[in-house]
Chain A
Amino acid sequence: MSNRARSYNTEGVVLRRRNLGEADSIFTVFSPTEGKFDAIAKGVRKPKSHMRGHLEPLTRSKMHIAQGRNLDVFTQAETIAGYRAVRDDLDRLTLALYCSELVERFTVDRSPQPQLYDLLNELLEGLDTNGPLTIGRSFELQILAMSGYEMQLANCAICGARFPEGDTLFSAASGGLVCENCRGTAGTGRILSVRAIKVLRFARTASIGQFAGLRLDEGLESELQRALGDAIRIVLDRETNSGKFVEELARPLRASERAARDDVQSSSPFSS
């Protein structure tokens, strides 16, 4: 989009904010028409800024942007969806941040991917309307596919042969499920249960909304989380920042659950 007018309108989800100087911030926005881009909002950290609340990360906003010499400049912004319930719950918030980090890392500047934009909003809406946290798995699988890393779930990712229904090796490095015969040539991976494989196959064709209807027990969910986490890590060739945070978060939760259990025995968990 090199022949853009001097200013343009778009909408987008704010992925990230970085502060600049005294009162300015640079925002990374993902837009269906512009793709991912950075733009600066001047004076947005002053208390009387008109745009401040409309450009918080994870907000979907309408934006008016003026072309700048280096960075484009926000001139107006208005919220379309604030996804408030996502902000009010730590687990939802962390998952949403993790998914928006994935969008940031999987996309290239100024390259529109309207399908991925819809996926991101579907996820945020799902989390905003009390959908289960498991929809994060559906998001992971689909962002991989949309970015050209479709995981092979029907036939062997190496030889293409069909394999009998059963627990099968999932190797993200090889591009999906690997049959018995090819195991030797496959990279590292982990064995997935038949149930997990079925969920993945369903997730590949189902929308996030349909996936939300699926009830996954904790074991199955963590099996999928590990497998897809591997795939993301291998494709990105690094850990995600917020992914580490998701794990971090699970720890004090367990600790506090333990504290709550201890609470029944002794009145103050801290005094013990």
Chain B
Amino acid sequence: MPEANSTPEPIQRLVDAFHRLPGIGPKSAQRLAYHILRGPEQDAAFLADALMDVKRRISLCSVCLNITEQDPCRYCADDRRDRSTICVVEQALDLLAIERSGYRGLYHVLHGVLNPMDGVGPEDIHVRELVVRLQANEAQEIIMATNPSLEGEATAMYIQRLIGPSGVKVTRLARGLPSGADLEYADDITLARALEGRREI
């Protein structure tokens, strides 16, 4: 690479660092690095500080494994929340989506989903923590809110099999048509499930 020789080492290092981020190609990485170089020093300091801060101050909640600044996280520490239900989600971002829907129970974040084809097994995601948590918990219902994809379904069924025998009720989010969808394009399985779950109006 010719630019590797002509670019000063500190810039090249920054370019490489940006290049490692998802969705950033070599050209975008260069543009970002030169933008930082041109900008005022406090902007760069602000970015560096924010980067370090997020790694230093954010950890996983010891109860629900949500990303948090204090432990236990604010959802687990909140006494007003319904402690009888635990909603199991794939990612911390899914938790925010469920929270927007008005759910006010507890959570458990798996940080991943079972993927047999790619060799992602139960020990690669935080399933064990959920089982341990249930041993000393008053939870009566586990809501499986994994994505309605093949992997999400497999994960939901696996967890159901794992904790079902303990007598805890395990439920699954309903599946059907998203608002604004076209019936014409809906796949057979979604339509069949939407029909099954129809309601009187």
List A residues at the B interface (Cβ < 8 Å). Answer: 16-17, 21-22, 47-48, 50-54, 56-59, 79, 82, 84, 87-90, 93-94, 97-98, 100-101, 241-242, 244-246, 248-249, 252-253, 255-257, 259-260, 263, 268-271
Contact with A along B166-192 (1 / 0, CB 8 A): 110000000000101110011111101
Could you list 12 A-B pairs, sorted by A, with CB under 8 Å?
A: A51-B185, A53-B188, A57-B150, A84-B189, A88-B153, A97-B117, A100-B117, A101-B117, A242-B117, A253-B161, A256-B161, A259-B165
Considering the chains assembled together, what is the distance between the CA atoms of A97 and B153 in angstroms? Answer: 13
Nearest CB in chain A to that of B137: its residue: A270
- Which residues of B are at the interface with A, using a C-beta cutoff of 8 A? 23, 114, 116-119, 121-122, 134-135, 149-150, 153-154, 157-158, 161-162, 164-167, 178, 180-182, 185-190, 192
Is the CB–CB distance between A56 and B178 below 8 Å?
A: no
The smallest beta-carbon distance between B119 and chain A, in angstroms, is 4
| Contact among B23, B116, B118, B165 with A21 in the assembled complex (CB-CB below 8 Å) | B23
Q: Which residues of A contact B118 (CB under 8 A)?
A: 241
B187 is contacted by which of A82, A245, A249, A255 (Cβ under 8 Å)? A82
Q: Are B178 and A47 in contact (CB under 8 A)?
A: yes
| Chain A residues with CB below 8 A from B121, complex form | 244-245, 248
B117 close to A53 (CB less than 8 A): no
- Whether the pair A82, B189 counts as a contact (CB closer than 8 A) is yes
Task: Report whether A87 and B166 are in contact in the complex, using a CB–CB cutoff of 8 Å.
Answer: no
Residues of B near A252 (CB, < 8 A) are: 122, 158, 161-162
Q: Give chain B residues whose Cβ lies under 8 Å from the Cβ of A90.
A: 154, 157-158, 161
New contact pairs (16) apart from A21-B23, A90-B158, A242-B116, CB-CB < 8 Å: A53-B189, A54-B187, A56-B149, A56-B150, A84-B188, A90-B154, A90-B157, A94-B116, A101-B116, A244-B119, A248-B122, A252-B161, A253-B161, A256-B165, A259-B165, A268-B167
